[in-house]
């Protein structure tokens, strides 16, 4: 084979052309000369592959993401320094990667691969909702400017998970004030709320998979799983959201029960505090006194609509970039969405704004300007309508949940495992039961329905 005759540096240049570090891993396991070439020049090969994989203008975030994989999270000064370096990198806009372990390069490459796939899926779902909700003229796909916003939001989400969504045994938690000051405050509120658009997309996808398992897995029916919580406060949904984008991509791609069951454990393997998980971290994008100092220090009860353009200018941050300045659509939409809120209480309001995040309204550009009153009216309508993506649990009454849990508990007691629907009562997804056991269980379930079902869990 001719490759044996090539110098190692030439073989290295061939490896440079691969698309991802995952492809590199496959290649170097396939042939000794490729492996030797990688050992000879591992750092350069990895950086060259990643330099082609990183989207334009996102090297500062890529370097921060690399560093977040290796920083000592128990050392809060190190975390602060990392976030300060991110600010400096954004201002200086380096076009190269710094030196990190190969494992960190591999983690970044996996995250970038996930971002590309997740971003395209988000665009396909959110953009049509935005166009219909705001009656907006827009091309069928995202512009380069909008793609940049989404890429940045996904990368910041992953950095946030790496730094702040940590288990108890990592050490003391990075305090809320520091999260606000060092992670969120260097950006404007509308740029930060772009992360919430990404978060909400991930949240509802994880909730869909979680509800499927929680509502149908026989093993989960043995214990009273608290799957009736809203997704932003459901401990297991939040824990899964903190596992990082590559894992979330696997969960989203899992479209059947068995795949989802393998990816979603009933309990986290390590203890977490809810304050360390994604939504509670995102709540800290606004300081405790909200935006009083910038918008109206003398009249804290004024609403945003009553603030001057000069006041809003103070919210702009150098790290935003020209695509998100005070003339941008994200700013105009953010101002419209929050227009009736007090400057002392501009909040991350899940109940009020989840439809706004579902259509990612802080990401897109309006091709034709709309009057602010019109945008406000359409924004208010979004707050009042039913969710775009209702969860499975929202369609179940209390008795439905209780019946499902009781039926699955009794199937488990009889030795059964697998998928159970309390609606169809079909044993095709259940293993471990004889036909006579199935018949006996069906008779018991029928008796419950005829006699009514008690509200004591596992009663009867």
> How far is Cα 280 from Cα 232, in angstroms, rounded to an integer?
8
Nearest to 356 by CA among 385, 328, 327, 329: 385
Q: Which two tokens stand for residue 411?
A: 């199937």
Looking at residue 359, what DSSP letter applies? T
CB contact burial 180-194 (16+ within 10 A = b; e otherwise): bebbbbbbbbbbbbb
| Cβ-contact 164, 179 below 8 angstroms | yes
Separation in Å, CA 90 to CA 81, 149, 159: 14, 14, 15
> How far is Cα 83 from Cα 69, in angstroms, rounded to an integer?
13
Looking at residue 55, what DSSP letter applies? P
Q: Which residues pair with 419 in a beta bridge?
A: 217
Please list, in sequence order, all residues whose beta carbon lies within 8 angstroms of the beta carbon of residue 10, skipping any fewer than 6 positions away.
none
The domain limits of the chain are: 1-53, 56-395, 398-451
pLDDT of residue 6: 67
> How far is Cα 428 from Cα 419, in angstroms, rounded to an integer?
8
Q: What are phi and psi of 430, to 5 degrees?
A: -105, 135
> Mean pLDDT of successive 10-residue segments in the chain (460 residues)?
65 77 84 75 90 93 97 95 96 88 96 98 98 91 97 98 89 86 94 98 96 93 78 93 97 95 88 84 80 72 84 89 93 91 82 95 88 87 92 82 91 96 94 96 90 54
Nearest to 191 by CA among 69, 298, 89, 324: 324
CB contact burial 137-172 (16+ within 10 A = b; e otherwise): ebeeebeebbbbbbbbbbbbbbbbbbbbbbeeeeee
Which phi-psi region, left, alpha or beta, contains residue 336 (left: φ > 0; alpha: ψ -120 to 50)?
Answer: alpha
| Cβ-contact 206, 240 below 8 angstroms | yes
């Amino acid at each position: 084979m001719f490759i044996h005759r090539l110098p190692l540096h030439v073989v290295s240049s061939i490896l440079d052309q691969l698309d991802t570090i995952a492809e590199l891993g496959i290649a170097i396991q396939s042939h000794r000369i490729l492996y030797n070439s990688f050992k000879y020049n591992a750092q350069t090969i990895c950086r060259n592959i990643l330099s082609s994989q990183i989207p334009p203008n996102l090297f500062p975030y890529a370097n921060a993401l690399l560093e977040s994989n290796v920083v000592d999270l128990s050392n809060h000064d190190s975390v602060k320094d990392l976030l300060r370096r991110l600010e400096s990198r954004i201002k200086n806009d380096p076009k190269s990667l710094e030196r990190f372990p190969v494992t960190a390069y591999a983690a970044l490459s996996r995250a970038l691969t996930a971002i590309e796939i997740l971003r395209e899926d988000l665009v396909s779902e959110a953009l049509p909702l935005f166009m219909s909700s705001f009656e907006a003229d827009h091309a069928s796909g995202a512009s380069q400017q909008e793609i940049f916003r989404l890429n940045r939001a996904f990368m910041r989400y992953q950095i946030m998970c790496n730094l702040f969504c940590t288990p108890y045994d990592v050490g003391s938690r990075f305090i809320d004030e520091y999260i606000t000051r060092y992670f969120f405050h260097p950006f404007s509120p509308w740029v930060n709320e772009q992360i919430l658009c990404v978060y909400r997309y991930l949240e509802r996808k994880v909730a869909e998979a979680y509800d499927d398992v929680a509502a149908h897995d026989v093993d989960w029916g043995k214990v009273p799983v608290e799957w009736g919580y809203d997704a932003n406060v459901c401990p297991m949904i939040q824990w899964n959201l903190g596992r990082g984008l590559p894992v979330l991509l696997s969960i989203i791609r899992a479209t059947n029960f068995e795949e989802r069951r393998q990816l979603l454990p009933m309990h986290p393997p390590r203890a977490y505090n809810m304050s360390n998980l994604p939504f509670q971290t995102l709540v800290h994008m606004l300081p405790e006194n909200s935006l009083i100092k910038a918008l109206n220090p003398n009249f804290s009860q004024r609403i945003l609509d009553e603030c001057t353009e000069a006041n809003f200018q103070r919210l702009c941050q150098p790290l935003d970039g020209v695509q998100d300045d005070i003339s941008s659509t994200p700013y105009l939409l953010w101002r419209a969405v929050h227009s009736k809120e007090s400057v002392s209480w501009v909040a991350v309001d899940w109940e009020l704004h989840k439809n706004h995040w579902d259509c990612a309204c802080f990401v897109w550009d309006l091709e034709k300007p709309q009057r602010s009153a019109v945008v406000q009216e359409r924004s208010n309508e979004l707050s009042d309508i039913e969710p775009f993506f209702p969860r499975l649990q929202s369609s179940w009454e209390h008795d439905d949940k209780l019946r499902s849990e009781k039926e699955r508990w009794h199937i488990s007691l009889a030795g059964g495992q697998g998928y159970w629907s309390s609606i169809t009562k079909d044993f095709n997804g259940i293993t471990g039961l004889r036909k006579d056991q199935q018949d006996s269980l069906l008779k018991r379930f029928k008796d419950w329905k005829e006699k009514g079902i008690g509200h004591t869990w596992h009663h009867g």
